[in-house]
């Protein structure tokens, strides 16, 4: 069989035309066919998924009231879709609750008792423990979707659809595409045959002349120009080449050395330019990744802040009402311990919500000048750390504090929580035991460091927590600070917020976190926290009142958009001896104060709809310029809280608050009565 290069020009031209026309057509046809198949499958999946979701949502009431007949009527409505083979509602454990069968596919549903066992292997559980997704088989499309009620899965909607109509549409499109391809090939061949003579004959003449020149070395020969196209231009160029070839050969030898030198220099320039471009691209990618990660954390933080605000309002009843119940119960009542347990659980939930607010990075809530060395030492001697050591008896903790460390300005609660999370994670990484090293050193950064997210020049305290555990995989380093990203067992080792809280705390303190794996095993976390030259605050008195401060009939207006919160505050303040009125919005409070006066207003900072706490207090001052007020919110302390306090408002208390907190805040604002 002859090689392609040995074939006549005319034959090669025909082959080239055929190939250059066939390949793009086939590629385009394959692309169109693939796109259509994907499009048809996606549309069908969206339709069937929508039917499954709608059937599930419509069956919520039936599931809630254990009414399979109503669920069956809802599913029977799917018979309008002829491609639906089976539709079913499942209970959370996979038991068949209700089913609809297409009569034409009566044999496509297994026994009801074995129904979920047949489809279960194709839908593995997600990490959250639910079944969800879809599966394309040779004949059917199966879709399963969870049914939620108040955030809890109460069942699953399952739909099986026939793929026959989908296959028919694909086959019809393939036949249409095949017809178009055949028609296109016929047209190409007719056109190419007419062009061969015009192109091939002049090329053949040129080839014969070239062979004679090669054999006879007769540069006086010329090819006759018969066309004015590119081939004619080629012939003119060939004739001119014959006239100049000898002269060019001599000049080529002379310039060869210079050309090699120029090529070498240019190659070096291109390599240097390529290296710079590669570095710039890597830097762009690094910056883009950081920007994307920061945007993701900001979005998650915003969501966490909103959730935390709502949960704090809900927890108010769990945290605050037990104070009222305990006040009215005898000390020997058997109900005291259960009520105290309820309140303790509520306080623990409030602490988790505070982690969400830290993650939301809404600012350091209570910043003060502090000695970080004392804070670390206090944590190590505290009950939380001692309890951790009791869970991990094979772990030892070593400390090193550099002498004459500067102070820093920050939030002690947040910093201690960050240290606790780092030590807890280190302990979790050493199930067989090991050592945790906590070091506190002083470092001066004499210039900004871009690699450390533009760490500014200045004095820094460096808090290091190192362990001898299993270390951190490279794939996990960029994700360990993401909320809820954890390799631990959920429900046993934490909420998945620990490292995100550390990240938010360090960012709130304008610091930087460096994560490294240690040689020989283990990991190190270095927290760079800005130092301060400010003087420490005076040590507060430890004297605390032995009983709650009480009122003497002073009037208080509670302004809150949440009814339960108004009732809680009203009952607490009434039990403390105050006269209490309530308002469900800022506007309602203003209407009340136009004709009444009160000694104190308790204002919720976030009310929706209507004006918020800051605007409410601003308008109250127009009516009563000397009006006393305290502020409350389930959110972190914000700039709007500080603005209200600058206008004259008193203390800020965070929901959920205890009777002691609100009693002290009210008493202080009223002058200690």
180-230: pLDDT as tens digits: 888 887 877 777 766 666 666 677 777 777 777 777 767 666 777 666 666
Structure tokens at 341: 């347990």
Q: Check which CATH number belongs to the domain holding 171 and give it.
A: 3.30.450.20
pLDDT digits (tens, 9 = 90+) for 156-165: 888 888 888 8
Domain end call among 170, 198, 217: 217
- 645-to-128, 593, 601, 608 alpha-carbon distances in Å: 44, 20, 13, 21
Whether residues 155 and 292 fall in one domain = no
Q: Give CA–CA dist 646/625, Å, rounded.
A: 14
State the pLDDT at residue 40: 77
Evaluate whether residue 74 is within a structural domain. yes
Residue matched to tokens 């005319």: 10
Q: Where residue 491 sits, what CATH number does that domain have?
A: 3.30.565.10
**Is the predicted pLDDT of residue 597 greater than 70, yes or no?**
yes
Burial of residue 630 (CB within 10 Å: 0-12, 13-18, 19+) is buried
Structure tokens at 473: 């995989």
Decide if pLDDT at 250 tops 60.
Answer: yes
Per-residue pLDDT band for 660 (boundaries 50, 70, 90) equals confident
Range of the domain at 406: 365-532
Instruction: Mark whether 130 and 248 lie in a shared domain.
Output: no
13 and 40 share a domain? yes
Q: What is the pLDDT of residues 554-569, one digit of tens each?
A: 999 999 988 888 888 8
The neighbour count for residue 243, using CB atoms within 10 Å, is: 12
Looking at 362, 393, 418, the residue that finishes a domain is: 362
User: What band does 535 get if pLDDT is binned at 50, 70 and 90?
Assistant: confident
At residue 512, does pLDDT exceed 80?
Answer: yes
What percent of the chain is modeled with pLDDT above 90?
11
- Clarify whether residues 41 and 189 are in a common domain: yes
CA atoms within 13 A on the CB side of 227: 16
Other residues' Cβ atoms within 10 Å of the Cβ of residue 15: 12
Instruction: Report the pLDDT value the prediction gives residue 307, as an integer from 0 to 100.
Output: 64
Q: Do 620 and 557 meet the contact criterion of CB atoms below 8 Å apart? A: no
Q: According to the model, what pLDDT value does residue 602 have?
A: 93
Half-sphere exposure of 578 (CA within 13 A, CB side): 28
Residue 524 located in a structural domain: yes
pLDDT above 90: residue 582: yes
CA distances from 293 to 210, 289, 302, 344, 664 (A): 66, 6, 14, 36, 42
**Cβ-contact 304, 357 below 8 angstroms:** yes
Co-location of 273 and 254 in the same domain: yes
- Helix then strand then coil, % of the chain, to nearest 5: 55, 15, 30
Domain shared by 408 and 307, yes or no: no
- Is 370 within a domain? yes
- What's the CATH number where 297 sits? 1.10.287.130
Write down the pLDDT at residue 352.
62
Say how many domains are in the chain: 4
Q: Is residue 489 scored above 60 in pLDDT?
A: no
Residue 539 resides in a domain: no
Same domain as 397, residue 320: no
Q: For residue 19, is it within any domain? A: yes
With cut-offs at 50, 70 and 90, classify the pLDDT of residue 492: very low
Does residue 550 lie in a domain region?
A: no
Is residue 516 within 8 Å of residue 526, measured between CB atoms?
A: yes
**CB-based burial, 144-155: b 16+ in 10 Å, e otherwise:** bbbbeeeeebbb
pLDDT tens column, 606-633 = 887 889 989 999 999 999 999 999 998 8
392 in Cβ contact with 425 (< 8 Å): no
Contact criterion met (CB below 8 Å) for 583 and 611: no
Domain for residue 472, yes or no? yes
Q: b or e along 370-379 (b: 16 or more beta carbons within 10 Å of the residue's beta carbon)?
A: bebbebbeeb
Q: Is 161 helix (H, G, I), strand (E, B) or coil?
A: strand
Which one of 47-56, 298-307, 612-621, 631-640 scores highest in mean pLDDT? 612-621
**Residues 227, 151 share a domain:** no
Whether the pTM exceeds 0.75: the reply is: no
- Would you give the DSSP letter of residue 628? -
pLDDT at position 627, please?
Answer: 92
Does 542 map to a domain? no
pLDDT band at 456 (very low <50, low <70, confident <90, very high): confident
Task: Indicate the residue among 164, 183, 217 that finishes a domain.
Answer: 217
What is the Cα–Cα distance from 366 to 137, expressed in whole angstroms? 59
User: Could you say which DSSP state residue 611 is in?
Assistant: -
Q: What is the DSSP string of 68-111?
A: HHHHHHHHHGGGGSTTEEEEEEE-TTS-EEEEEE-GGGGGGS--
Looking at the fold, whether 525 and 380 belong to one and the same domain comes out as yes
pLDDT computed for residue 464 by the predictor: 94
Q: Give yes or no: residues 197 and 97 share one domain.
A: yes
Pair 612, 631: CB distance under 8 Å: no
| 3-state secondary structure (DSSP) of residue 603 | strand
Q: How many CB atoms lie within 10 A of CB 649?
A: 25
- Two tokens, residue 53: 């979701």
If asked whether residues 270 and 327 sit together in one domain, one would say yes
Question: Are residues 371 and 358 part of one domain?
Answer: no
CATH value at residue 570? 3.40.50.2300
């Amino acid at each position: 069989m002859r090689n392609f290069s040995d074939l006549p020009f005319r034959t090669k031209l025909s082959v080239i035309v055929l190939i250059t026309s066939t390949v793009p057509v086939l590629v385009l046809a394959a692309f169109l066919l693939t796109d259509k198949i994907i499009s048809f499958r996606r549309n069908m999946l969206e339709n069937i998924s929508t039917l499954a979701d709608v059937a599930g949502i419509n069956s919520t009431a039936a599931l809630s009231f254990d009414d399979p007949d109503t669920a069956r009527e809802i599913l029977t409505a799917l018979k309008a879709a002829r491609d639906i083979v089976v539709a079913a509602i499942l209970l959370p454990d996979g038991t068949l609750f209700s089913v609809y069968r297409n009569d034409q596919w009566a044999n496509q549903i297994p026994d009801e008792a074995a129904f979920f066992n047949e489809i279960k292997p194709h839908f593995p559980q997600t990490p959250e423990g639910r079944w969800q997704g879809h599966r394309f088989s040779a004949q059917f499309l199966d879709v399963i979707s969870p049914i939620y009620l108040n955030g809890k899965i109460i069942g699953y909607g399952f739909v099986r659809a026939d793929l026959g109509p989908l296959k028919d549409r694909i086959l019809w499109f393939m036949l249409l595409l095949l017809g178009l391809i055949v028609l296109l090939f016929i047209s190409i061949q007719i056109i190419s045959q007419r062009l061969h003579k015009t192109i091939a004959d002049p090329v053949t003449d040129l080839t014969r002349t070239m062979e004679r020149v090669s054999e006879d070395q007769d540069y006086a020969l010329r090819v006759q120009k018969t066309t004015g196209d590119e081939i004619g231009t080629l012939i003119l160029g060939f004739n001119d080449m014959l006239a100049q070839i000898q002269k060019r050969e001599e000049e080529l030898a002379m310039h060869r050395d210079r050309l090699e030198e120029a090529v070498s220099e240019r190659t070096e320039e291109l390599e240097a330019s390529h290296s710079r471009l590669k570095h710039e691209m890597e830097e762009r990618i690094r910056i883009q990744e950081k920007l994307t990660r920061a945007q993701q954390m900001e979005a998650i933080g915003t969501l966490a802040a909103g959730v935390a605000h709502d949960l704090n309002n809900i927890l108010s009843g769990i945290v605050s009402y037990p104070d009222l119940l305990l006040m009215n119960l005898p000390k020997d009542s058997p109900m005291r311990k259960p009520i105290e347990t309820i309140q303790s659980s509520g306080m623990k939930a409030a602490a988790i919500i505070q982690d969400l607010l830290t993650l939301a990075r809404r600012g350091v809530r209570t910043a003060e000048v502090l000695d970080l060395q004392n804070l670390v030492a206090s944590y190590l001697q505290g009950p939380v750390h001692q309890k951790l050591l009791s869970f991990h008896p094979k772990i030892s903790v070593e400390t090193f504090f550099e002498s004459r460390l500067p102070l820093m300005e920050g939030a002690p609660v947040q910093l201690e929580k960050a240290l606790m999370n780092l030590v807890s994670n280190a302990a979790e990484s050493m199930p067989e035991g090991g050592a945790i090293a906590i070091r506190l050193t002083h470092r001066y950064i004499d210039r900004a460091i871009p690699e450390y997210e533009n760490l500014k020049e200045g004095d820094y305290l460096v808090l290091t927590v190192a362990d001898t555990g299993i270390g951190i995989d490279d794939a996990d380093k960029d994700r360990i600070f993401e909320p809820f990203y954890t390799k631990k067992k959920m429900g046993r080792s934490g909420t998945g917020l620990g490292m995100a809280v550390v990240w938010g705390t360090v960012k709130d303190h304008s610091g930087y976190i460096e994560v490294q794996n240690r040689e020989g095993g283990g990991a190190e976390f270095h927290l760079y926290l800005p130092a301060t030259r400010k003087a420490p605050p005076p040590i507060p008195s430890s004297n605390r009142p032995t009983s709650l401060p009480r009122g003497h009939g002073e009037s208080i207006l509670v302004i809150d958009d949440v009814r339960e919160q108004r009732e809680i505050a009203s009952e607490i303040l009434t039990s403390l001896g105050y006269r209490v009125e309530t308002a469900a919005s800022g506007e309602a409070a203003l209407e009340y104060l136009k004709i009444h006066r009160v000694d104190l207003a308790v204002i919720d900072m976030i009310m929706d709809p209507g004006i918020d706490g800051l605007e409410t207090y601003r308008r109250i001052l127009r009516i009563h310029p000397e009006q006393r007020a305290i502020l409350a919110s389930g959110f972190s302390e914000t700039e709007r809280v500080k603005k209200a306090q600058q206008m004259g408002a008193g203390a800020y208390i965070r929901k959920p608050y205890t009777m002691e907190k609100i009693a002290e805040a009210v008493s202080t604002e009223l002058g200690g009565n």
